[in-house]
Amino acid sequence: MSNDYARQPRQDHGDGDPKMIGLWKIGRTIGKGSSGRVRIARHVKTHQLAAVKIVSKSTILNPVNKPSRHTFLNIEREIVIMKLIDHPNILRLYDVWETHSDLYLILEYVEGGELFDYLCNKGPLSTAEALVYFQQIIFA
């Protein structure tokens, strides 16, 4: 990953699972996705919560795995776009860190998860509720 985006953590315990990334204390896993897992974190000075998306470098930088190049470009694109966007309906990217094995995206934590998960759990929305979410997406 390019150093244009990521900084090195202050503390790495050598097990590939740091307890601190910068001033963020890493907590329990709150989700898993196709590109990695998400853990809760708390800023040690402000006590602000964040979601930390952890992406394994071996997954995105493996030259044998052709989809890895596509995954790498998607992650890089996600970082660039999220650093540029400041909108109340889009998660903020606070920071990016990396270790020898992983990339850490420190994101705004939103209680309740993503809209996709909400739709999967709730099922079809009423027209009125769908309109509310649709308007938020359009104005993002």
- Total domains in the fold of the chain: 2
Same-domain status, 99 and 130: no
Average pLDDT, 10 consecutive residues per value, the chain (140 residues): 53 60 94 87 97 87 65 84 87 91 92 84 93 87
The reported pLDDT for the residue numbered 69 is: 67
Are residues 85 and 138 both part of a single domain?
no
Q: Under DSSP, is residue 19 helix (H, G, I), strand (E, B) or coil? A: coil
Q: What is the pTM (predicted TM-score) of this model?
A: 0.75
- How many CB atoms neighbour CB 123 within 10 A? 6
19 annotated as ligand-binding: no
Stated as kind and residue range, the H or E segment containing 97 is strand 93-98
Which pLDDT score is estimated for 12? Answer: 47
Answer yes or no: do 101 and 44 share one domain: yes
Whether residues 81 and 116 share a domain: the answer is no
Q: Specify whether 96 is located in the same domain as 127.
A: no
Exposure string over 47-78, b if 16+ CB within 10 A, otherwise e: eeebbbbbbebebbeeeeeeebeebbeebbee
Domain match, 104 and 121 both: no
pLDDT at 13: 45
**Do 59 and 76 share a domain, yes or no?**
yes
The predicted pLDDT at position 75 comes to 83
Q: What is the pLDDT of residue 14?
A: 46
Domain holding 121, by residue range, is 112-140
pLDDT at 138 (0 to 100): 87
Do 57 and 124 share a structural domain?
A: no
Same domain? 46 vs 103:
yes
Same-domain status, 102 and 118: no
